[in-house]
Structure 1
């Protein structure tokens, strides 16, 4: 257990591009944790939001976004599992 009483979670970063319903394309990292695939993260994770960090757009670098999953059109992996960055 962590010091705040919450269980520690495994961090498995994946780089993804996410298209939202308003047409925005967001590129950044998500933590899929114990799941093997990005699709598992979106299908089995019950929280309605996804945290995207180290997000990059044309103006900003290293932003953090919290996106409602209902506003996501598609998610595309930008990396290969197990790939060292």
Structure 2
């Protein structure tokens, strides 16, 4: 019973809460501050995009070169193995 009273007391405490309304000019003030914020110039966006594209291209090129080098090393190892096998 005591637990139920405690729950009811907690729930009834929200009945005393009064809704607070913002001042009339608050929304307009927030909107004007948002509009005043500086935006990023288009040239900087394009520069960032070009930099990312260049970095991605360089990474792809490096991976491609590494794979070619690895393939070449395997071929050389195979040739060396075959050559050593026939040179008793």
Bin for the TM-score computed over the shorter chain: under 0.3
Q: Bigger radius of gyration, 1 or 2?
A: 2
More strand by share: 1
More helix by share: 2
With a CA cutoff of 8 Å and minimum separation of 6, indicate the structure with the bigger relative contact order: 1
Per the normalisation by structure 2, the TM-score is 0.13
